[in-house]
Structure 1
Amino acid sequence: MLVDERGLLPDHIHPLPDLLNRDAASVLSAFIHSQRADFERVLAEMGQGTSPLRTVLAELGRGKTADLGVLFLHLHRHVMEHPVWTHPFFLRVFEGRITPEQVKRFATQYFNQIKNTRQCVALAIGRFHGLTALAEGNRGERLSELTQIALAQLVADEYGVGSHGLEDYPELGRLLAAKTHIVMYRQLFEGLGLAPEDQDVAMLPEVADNVLIQRLVAGHPEFTPLEALASVGLGMEWGVPEFFSLLLGGLIRVSQRDGLGLTPRHLEVFIAHVRYDVLHAISVMLVTSLHMRGPEDRGVVENACNMLMAGRTAMMGGLYRHVFGEECPEVTLEDRHRVSDVRIIEALRHARATIAPQRVVGGEAYRTSTTTPFN
């Protein structure tokens, strides 16, 4: 059951039972406040003398809770006040102004994003190795190790695998049967009646750009390990529970209105992202803070987040045009959210030239395109 007789969502579907009775601004506000409360709870636990996290941070000479609290509020505000989280696409879907056929068009294209995002975390892990300046000395090596562990947990969650001892290590068949986010997404296709051969399609150019931007900031040597870490954590995770809530609410409305018969199993990928990504954001925020030395690093992190959010904004605009056959209403950015970093502009243009043209709609033209989401 997705909705009870009172029009409320059960707790296993969504943490906001009255999701369908809210507007998008209220949903965003609820997640902003809940994420702040979650982080404050973690800081309070760190203040206890028996906290394992406090012990680890003390060993690294880091982690004054007051400083972490100020840093979190500043960066959280910067990310969550970006207009991408209330993009016209999300608003329209949340209101149910989308047809079943349009849902299918959205689902197949957004699948391209889901399939590729998780690889960026793996790329970021590889930035924290023993040959970098970050690893200098015992503390540096320890910090590098802790960063890898935090990111590895994100990868494990994305791929649906956990840790195993020798006695319970899964044989290959069981390992390959893990419930990954891709498996969950294909459950949505099942609910929408999309055959396997119709599920994997060439990317829209805007989707391809977003995939490349995420990969570049996470793995390209032009960008620092701190930027890589910020891109796969703060820039990628904080807003996900909110906009996945908007998508979930919209799909529930469409299912009820048009008799699609979608079940919790069909919508599991959205339900899971709302739950998991809150936990991901907290852990990566803590690890990111350990790599920040001074006020100038806040600007570095903000810039990395801006690149990711610019790519997502352009992607959602492309999806709006593709799904609805209309021009997307303009999204206005404040100066603090604009991107003028020539590194990402040049890196994106070079990366486009390396793609297999058949994997992008209009691939040959895309390979030579010079317009970017940052123009």
Structure 2
Amino acid sequence: LLAHETLGRLGGSNVPSALDSARSLVRASRERLRLWDLTDQQVRALEESRKHELYQPIYSPISGVVIEKMAFKGHRTEPGMPLYKIADLSTIWVYADIYEYELPFVQVGQEARITLAYYPAEEWTARLTYVYPSIDPKTRTAKVRFELPNSGKHQLLPEMYGNVELHVPAGERLTVPETAVLDSGRRQVVFVASTDGQLVPRDVKLGSRFDYYVEVLEGLSPGERVVTSANFLVDSESKLQAAESMMGMMGAIGMGDWKMESARPMEMGGQAGPGQEERRVGDLMVAVSVAAGPAKVGENAIRVRVRDASGAPVKGAAVSFSYTMDMPGMSIEQARAQERGDGMYEGSARFTMAGPWGLVVQIERPGKPPAREKFTLRVSG
């Protein structure tokens, strides 16, 4: 207003430079008001009214929703201080977490289906625009960003939660239910139904995972039948010939020559003596017993009696045994038995809890292949 007043007084001046200076001052004042975000209409109204206005409305440069307000009446402001935060919700970003094994199937440009629990009849289509280049070390997921036009009957708001579905064509692959796989971390095994009615454990190589199914790259053929539930029961109730239980001794030896039979706990009585169960192992008769009666939690002296086919005691053999409880997470303990004479060998085993324990005896003799057999001990508290 002062610039306009000065220009009015110098309008009839005969000094050209003074008139030019007044006009330049008006232009500079007008531009300064625009830098304060006053519109051309506000500047023009101020020039026409020639009155000072104590308050001037400041218009947002964009349309949107106020999501944060920092300015109040009487509040002192400084240059550069934010007064309002305004969000343009016409187009929104949707963030989703993708498991790292799903990343090979995720690409920029894919479309996703978005649903919300509170709008069950509605769904939205978003486009993937960015895959973040890092993995969250706690959740082992990668964050991806989708872009979504926010129009329609229900407007989406910031911080809402929803479900994101990406449909990726995977082609034709050999898969089994994920419950069919016994995974120890180092090996993956499935039980296959053979033609003679037995269940045979088989190593498999796994690939991608799809919902409740997992891809099998090696180890199975299309059409073979596999066990899909109670796998641990099948494993724990199996007597594995020439090997330990898969969950008890997994990784120690191969699995190709396992034979599935019922594993019986050691019975009291029998030809081998009280508390023993004697079995034929190749050309040997092997019996296992506990020196001080039934096995109990704690230290136990395990006796292994070895005889040949004629019933004569076997002397000078190297006898050892390994034992574990047939359940995930139990470690495998090893022990060597000392020869006590008359074909009797004795070693120490420490059982940490009551229940059935698998004990695998190995007998080595010069010039002959090792003999191995699994027994089951019932340990009481």
Q: TM-score range by the shorter chain?
A: under 0.3
Quick check: which one's helix share is greater? 1
Structure showing greater radius of gyration is 2
TM-score by length of 2: 0.17
Quick check: which one's strand share is greater? 2
TM-score by length of 1: 0.17
**Which one scores higher on RCO, CA 8 angstroms, separation ≥ 6?**
1
